[in-house]
Structure 1
Amino acid sequence: MATLHVLSASPFTDGRLGSCLRMLGPDDGLLLCGEAVQALRPGTEIFARLARLSSTKLYALMEDCEARGLEAEAAQQLDYPAFVELSLAYDRVNTWL
């Protein structure tokens, strides 16, 4: 069963992203929102780890990227209606609180 993992905590001050990456299955997706979009900042080790994800689909909330001045080309950017549609496309949604 494919899972959409939703992460909002900063990857620079919190270990949830690392835990999440270890749990990702081949059909899973990862949606970054809030401070988690900072993981898409080029030149960081965290960005390099995300770039090595081969089968995982990577998404980011457009509003959060824009608010932080990130172009976030490594992820498919979504608005809120697209986020709702995406969550319905997966069997499960796991929010990393």
Structure 2
Amino acid sequence: MATLHILSHSPFADSRLASCLRLLGNADGLLLSGDAVYALQPGSVARKALELMPDHIALYALAEDLEARALADLPPRVKTLDYPAFVERCCHFDKVNSWL
């Protein structure tokens, strides 16, 4: 079953991102929202970890959260989503897991 994993907490506050990355399956996706978009900061350990993810795992980020945190230099694989597209992505996957 394909799962969309949603992270919203800073990758620098705890180990949720690392735990999530270890559990990603072949058909899964990862959506960064809220402070989790800080994982995309250039040069950060978190960004390097995301860049090492297999190409077949989709990586999404909420556009509004990227804009609010002035993050624009994104890896090419990141697909930015607005809220309607976020809802559509949730419907695309069999399950949605929010890492609270």
Question: What TM-score, normalized by structure 1, do the two folds share?
Answer: 0.97
Count of matched residue positions in the alignment of Structure 1 and Structure 2: 97
Off by >4 Å, runs of 4+ in structure 1: none
Q: What are the superposed Cα offsets for residues 8-66 of structure 1, whole Å, 9 maximum, x if unpaired?
A: 00001111111101110011000000000000001011100100112211000000000
Unaligned runs of 5+ in 2: none
Query: RMSD in angstroms over aligned alpha carbons?
Result: 0.8
Matched residue, 2:72: 71
Unaligned runs of 5+ in 1: none
- Give percent identity, aligned residues only: 57
Question: What TM-score, normalized by structure 2, do the two folds share?
Answer: 0.94
Q: What are the superposed Cα offsets for residues 50-96 of structure 1, whole Å, 9 maximum, x if unpaired?
A: 00112211000000000000015221100000000000000000000
Matched residue, 2:92: 89
